[in-house]
Amino acid sequence: MNEKELLSIIQGGESSKVQFKERLPHLDSLAHELIAFSNSQGGIIIFGVNDKTGELNGLSFTEIQQLNQQLVNTASQKVYPPIFIITETVPAQGNNIVVVSVEEGTGKPYKDANGTIYLKNGSDKRKVTSNDELARLLRSGGSLFADELLIQGSSIDDINSEQFNAFVLRKYKKTIDELPVEKEKIVENLDLSKDGLLTLTGLLLFSNKRHLQRPQFSIQCVSIDGPKIENTFTDNEGILEGAMLEVFQRTMDFINRNMKKVPETTGFNSQTKWEIPYEVFEELIVNALVHRDYFISSTVKVFIFSDRVEIISPGKLPNSLTIENAKNGLSVIRNPILLSTAQYILPYKGLGTGISRSYALYPDIIMENKIEENQFKVTIKRKY
């Protein structure tokens, strides 16, 4: 970082990713700052800046040496698990300013010696007290997956036998009666149940009672006569019932009846096709169902406006995955059990190619990783 970049950051004031410290605080307080950044989106702590006025008050050589040592000790001995930090000294207006960079952690949740967890909250920080927040931190750190959670009140008896038998035949190339183990054991071995309860994967893919026990883990569809949500609804599906395959099929049916059909050729007997290729929606709807964040109690939403279609999924992209990475075929699996099972049920092609395939079929797509709203939004422009 050079002087110009540093002064520009200071001019912008403190934020969720920038913190000012005139001098080294109490080491416990420093640990809390490092924890909050590591559990959030990372950031920088700038030492030698007054946090009230933004005025520079540079550090001496001795202070810089002591600060670096205390930073290393705090990051390795007062943050659990330990984190790595990067420090640099930047000369600015005759002052030596120390910039400490803290990456978003991959071992979340980070905590102090008392087990207290902190998150950034604007330019400040706060303790984590919500079970939902803790679950999301565990998930983002790879310690917990939503699709393996047990659903209280569920039972293996809730499984739709016809759908499960079709899945078994597709996966194993044998009927369930031809396999050498009982149905209950197959279900358990596939991580679809444990201790008599269905996992979230088992519930989503096979349960007749999914819409009763987790109605929010579905899709809502609305067609709007105009470019704004305030315009008249011309078609409106409430929260779709059924297991995941039925939700997928009913969503595609909804899109079908609200998509304009255009001729494939100029001939008199020309067949028609969707104005936006069917395969684009197939890829994106499957992606939304399989890769959404199931720690968030909200539906996937499909809005069909006069000039565009929006698909909004709960949860930002996981970990360090970016839209550009996703376009290039890189994927970070958020729901591994669900993914490994759903590929035999949904038209899932896998290998991280869904997004790139959608762009290849129809380039007029905009994807937004909406971090503040904790959503992933896909906008598909309409031409007709």
Note the pLDDT tens digit of each residue in 82-97. 999 999 999 999 999 9
Position 287 confidence tier, pLDDT thresholds 50, 70, 90: very high
Greatest alpha-carbon pair distance for the chain in Å reads: 86
The 3-state DSSP class for residue 19 equals strand
pTM of the model: 0.68
Q: Which amino acid is at 225?
A: D
Q: Where in the chain is the domain with CATH 3.30.565.60?
A: 219-381
Beta-strand runs (E) in 22-61: 43-47
- Asked if residues 345 and 249 have their Cβ atoms less than 8 Å apart, the reply is no
Q: Where in the chain is the domain with CATH 3.30.950.30?
A: 14-142
Q: Which pLDDT belongs to residue 327? A: 80
Say how many C-beta atoms besides its own lie within 10 A of residue 197's C-beta: 17
Nearest residue to 139 (alpha-carbon basis) of 373, 334, 340, 339: 334
- Phi and psi at residue 33, in whole multiples of 5°? -65, -45
Q: Residues 194-209: pLDDT tens digits?
A: 999 999 999 999 999 9
Beta bridge partners of 370: 375
- Asked if residues 37 and 102 have their Cβ atoms less than 8 Å apart, the reply is yes
Would you give the end-to-end CA distance of the chain in angstroms? 49
Q: Residues 220-268: pLDDT tens digits?
A: 999 999 999 999 999 999 899 999 999 999 999 999 999 999 888 776 6
User: How far apart, in whole angstroms, are the C-alpha atoms of residue 354 and residue 31?
Assistant: 41
Position 137 confidence tier, pLDDT thresholds 50, 70, 90: confident
The 3-state DSSP class for residue 256 equals helix
What CATH number labels 14-142?
Answer: 3.30.950.30
Over 309-335, what HEC string results? EEEEEECCCCCCCCHHHHHCCCCCCCC
**CATH T-level fold of 219-381:** Heat Shock Protein 90 (3.30.565)
